Amino acid sequence: MRIMSVHRCPPTPAATGLVEPHAPLLRHPPAGQLLYKVMSVENCLGSIERGYLHFNRVDSYKDFPGADRHDGEQLPGDRVGNAAAAFVKAPGFSAADYYDRSRSRTYAFCAALEDTDHVWTYGSGSPKGNVGLVFEFDRLRATLNRMLKSGGAGLEFRGIRCRQIFDLNYGMVDYVDWATHRANEARLPNPITYAYLKDAGQFAQERELRISLSALGIGKFVLDDLTEIDFPQHLHLDFDFRAAFADGTIREAVCGPRCDVAFLSAELTRLGATTVVIGKP
């Protein structure tokens, strides 16, 4: 599944995704904030060459050490109350069901607000080492918002172009006591709230800002032939890395301690990223 820039999308009954509809519910960093996205050299070059930002479905973090199996999940203290709240027109479908389905339709691109030793653990098992891209958050946000304005982007599913159904949001993750924190004490929260909560005891060192793409957690999304759209583990959002390097959206590429600098430099040159300043941690 991929979100791409298109001139026009065929009309469908599905609502078009919105840009920052939940901004008032989320915390944003100050102006001038830098983001540190560390990944393997191979994954970095693949993203640049094929022109995308890689998003993971938040309920899919399972198969690596330290993975947050509860990412995007409703809090354990909330679940009983959420399960007791049903929809008037669908009494068999509870708020807990709604939050679970929303989670299965939410994707995240994660970066760090600080350049710490912890961020350099990501992508470190690669033969070519790892590399960190330093983004200017304000420029990145402006670029993605322009792309996903209503009518300016489409969703590709199994080679078919569809209406863009994902809401785009940005926020700093809030770290809480996962076992005791409640988000539904006063009222049922918006599903986006759960996508920006993590356990402080395990994950506070991440200092994460995430960009989320989330689809409505009610109903089903189908193509014109009634084929149901499933939500794969990964989603790619079109992104022009060459333009981002040129206009300062990406300030530099920082090499990890075991990075193959010669290989990375040669590949960046081949890909036309000639304005990149390669630094070292």
In tens, the pLDDT along 176-223 reads: 999 999 999 999 999 999 999 999 999 999 999 999 999 999 888 988
Residue ranges in 10-164 assigned as alpha helix (H): 41-50, 76-84, 95-103, 137-148
CA 29 to chain centre: 16
Domain boundaries along the sequence of the chain: 2-279
Mean pLDDT of the chain: 91
Task: Record the pTM.
Answer: 0.92
Euclidean distance between CA atoms 198 and 146, whole angstroms: 29
For residue 76, give both structure tokens.
């354990």
Backbone angles phi, psi at 261, to 5 degrees: -65, -40
Query: Which parts of 95-246 are beta strand (E)?
Result: 106-112, 130-136, 153-157, 160-163, 167-172, 174-176, 197-199, 208-214, 234-238
Confidence (pLDDT) at 5: 57
**Residues in contact with 248: Cβ distance below 8 Å, sequence separation at least 6, in sequence order:** 136, 139
Backbone angles phi, psi at 20, to 5 degrees: 55, 45
pLDDT > 90? residue 33: yes
Band of the pLDDT at 166, cuts 50, 70, 90? Answer: very high
121: helix, strand or coil: helix
**Do the beta carbons of residue 34 and residue 251 sit within 8 Å?**
yes
Band of the pLDDT at 44, cuts 50, 70, 90? Answer: very high
